[in-house]
Amino acid sequence: MGKSLYEKVWESHAVRTLPNGQTQLFIDTHLIHEVTSPQAFGMLKDLGLRVRFPERTFATVDHIVPTHSLLEPFADPQADEMIRKLRENVREHGITFFDVGSGQQGIVHVIGPEQGITQPGMTIACGDSHTSTHGAFGAIAFGIGTTQVRDVLATQTLAMGKLKVRRINVEGRLRPGVYAKDVILHIIKVLGVNGGLGYAYEYGGSVFDNFSMEERMTVCNMSIEGGARCGYVNPDQTTFDYLEGRPYAPKGAEWERAVERWKALASDKDARYDDVVNIRAEDIAPTVTWGINPGQGCAITDRVPDPALYPESERAGLEEALAHMKLRPGQPIKGVKVDVAFLGSCTNGRISDFREVAKYLKGRKVAPGVRAIAVPGSQVVARQCEEEGIAEVFREAGFEWRGAGCSMCLAMNPDKLVGEELCASSSNRNFKGRQGSATGRTVLMSPVMVAAAAVTGAISDAREVFGVGELVGA
Amino acid sequence: MALEKIQQVIGRAVHVPGNDIDTDRITPARYLKVVTFDGLGEALFYDERYGPDGSQKPHPLNDPRFKGASIMLVGANFGCGSSREHSPQAIYRAGFRALIGESFAEIFFGNSTALSMPCVSASKADIEALAAAVAENPALEVTVDVERLEVRYADKAFGVSLPESAQKALVSGRWDPIADLLEAGELLEQASARLPKAVKS
């Protein structure tokens, strides 16, 4: 019986077995940001410990950075204190920091891959649940708490239990207008928001073979929304082509050796899985959420559920979601009025997302009364968008073109929903209050669907609004 | 490093119903703009408990009958979403020392264990029966027995589950793994020498 990539990486990174039976797992790459690290550095100090391998930790600032102006001090004194604290910590411990003045700052899960820091076969940890994004490269990457950030700083290891592995095959051809975001929203809808508890997800099949790295990242990013702490795709030529020449990728003869090593890490053909799920690509529609968790989604052509038609045990949850979203049981999701359109986040804030939207947005205008915000995932993405004329397309359409950061995905910076505003969002979470207003409402969807909502002022089918699919000839 | 052995948690309980309660609800993101965990107890379920004007909403944690509870009864997939340790920190700092739920999100579970706060899993029926008993008599003494993996109240008891590694860590006073991790000593340097590293070249 062969082994999965997960097993191979796990075995090569196991340092020893701990007294409670867990494995002490070595973490190759540690990513930190301003929100979940200051307390960890504080704990380190209290224990009189140093950062054991400072060259294995990389820092950026993303959650609290304002996206309209980087003038310091920031208007929000708490945000300002956080960035100053991070600078102090990285300076004291000799950690590489992609600061706002570096030209490379951005969302931690955008810049890791962009810089080539994220590599196949690595174990990667970060105090952020969307660390699963890095699994797109065939890395075992997962989010950790702040006490664990301390553990990695102090020892470069974590006390972990081994996960089971579920292989998710998506075979066939995606229908026109169906994107990576729809694939993961569909998977979460099918397997549930807690279906992945105890599992790592291995994504494969022809759809993933054909996906670009950025599409794979979109899917892996939201593994945690399905309860799976990590999700990955086996490394292949697409992975190597993406990485080659990036600043932190190996070069020359070392590159050749690395590629050979990475190829051998991919799951064996006869690998054993704890579970296998098969999904037909043709069954996936442009998907939007109607509720208050990412599993509460439906096809854009569908109606929201009518709790009366569900078993009694499920009704309270459905009613709570519909009440928060101010939707009527059984109403079509298409046509629901939108107040805000947000394009960005570690799920969909990469260059390919902005390129794809710009194709359709050119010559269109944001509907009156809609506040539309475009937030590139990194300063590198922002520059590319300027150079390619993409930023101008967004500005001309009436989008506010902002600086890099997490922004309205979780609203720790000044970008927030107000009151009961409804936001068409390319981000990853539609939890109550997620976008900064306790009564705010979030509808998750692909970037092109966000653009369709922005120009029509309502949740819309991008295939109708833009003729998506006809243009790309998919 | 001698840590307290968590063999039992004894106290009064409060039921916070609902499935898939995410960490944004437990601690809204604006309370994460801090550089220490001090004072986070106040943030617990803030937007569920208070309106924008600070007025109280009906919520079990606002109900004076359940004031002082140290055991929280919850539903399935509690603590899903963000990895923020701020959530278990807020629960702990609000006086809770154990959670009984149908299931817990993994990162939340690990964060809680490392704080010495056991999250034990039980059946929906057992939790609902206990919740009903607590609603009837908020002063009811509830015991979460981590060693015997059972919950006891009045003349009743039911079995709970907890991964063996977490159980061992709690009852042996090794719930904070740092001392064990540091013991690896030179093994860490050896591992670092053989494993890949991202280097700018």
B40 domain residue, yes or no: yes
Q: What is the pLDDT of residues A162-206, one digit of tens each?
A: 999 999 999 999 999 999 999 999 999 999 999 999 999 999 999
Is the pTM above the cut of 0.90? yes
B39 domain residue, yes or no: yes
Distance in Å, alpha carbon of B8 to nearest chain A alpha carbon: 18
Distance in Å, alpha carbon of A361 to nearest chain B alpha carbon: 32
B199 domain residue, yes or no: no
A381–chain B Cβ distance below 8 A for any pair? no
Nearest to B33 among A18, A78, A117 (CB): A78
Mean pLDDT of A299-316: 96
Predicted local distance difference test score (pLDDT) of residue A468: 86
Count of domains observed in chain B: 1
B128 domain residue, yes or no: yes
B46 domain residue, yes or no: yes
Mean pLDDT of B24-29: 97
B1 domain residue, yes or no: no
Predicted local distance difference test score (pLDDT) of residue A472: 43
Listed residue (A330, A300, A290, A297) closest to A466, CA to CA: A300
Residue B163 belongs to domain with CATH number: 3.20.19.10
Name chain B contacts of A250, Cβ cutoff 8 Å.
Answer: 201
| A126 to chain B: closest CA residue | B83
ipTM score: 0.97
The DSSP H or E segment spanning B41 is: none
Q: At what angle do helices A146-155 and A38-46 cross, to 10 degrees?
A: 60
Question: What is the average pLDDT value for chain A, to the nearest integer?
Answer: 97
B93 domain residue, yes or no: yes
Long-range contacts made by residues B114-117, C-beta under 8 angstroms, separation at least 24? B114/A145, B114/A147, B114/A148, B114/B175, B114/B176, B114/B177, B115/A147, B115/B85, B115/B88, B115/B89, B115/B175, B116/B3, B116/B4, B116/B6, B116/B170, B116/B175, B116/B176, B117/B88, B117/B91, B117/B92
For residue A362, pLDDT beyond 90 = yes
Mean pLDDT of B79-104: 98
B2 domain residue, yes or no: no
What band does A473 get if pLDDT is binned at 50, 70 and 90? very low
Question: Are the Cβ atoms of B77 and A78 closer than 8 angstroms?
Answer: no
Domain range for B171: 8-193
For residue A470, pLDDT beyond 70 = no
Listed residue (A149, A166, A167) closest to A158, CA to CA: A149
For residue A471, pLDDT beyond 90 = no
Mean pLDDT of A407-413: 97
Question: Are the Cβ atoms of A20 and B28 closer than 8 angstroms?
Answer: no
For residue B1, pLDDT beyond 90 = no
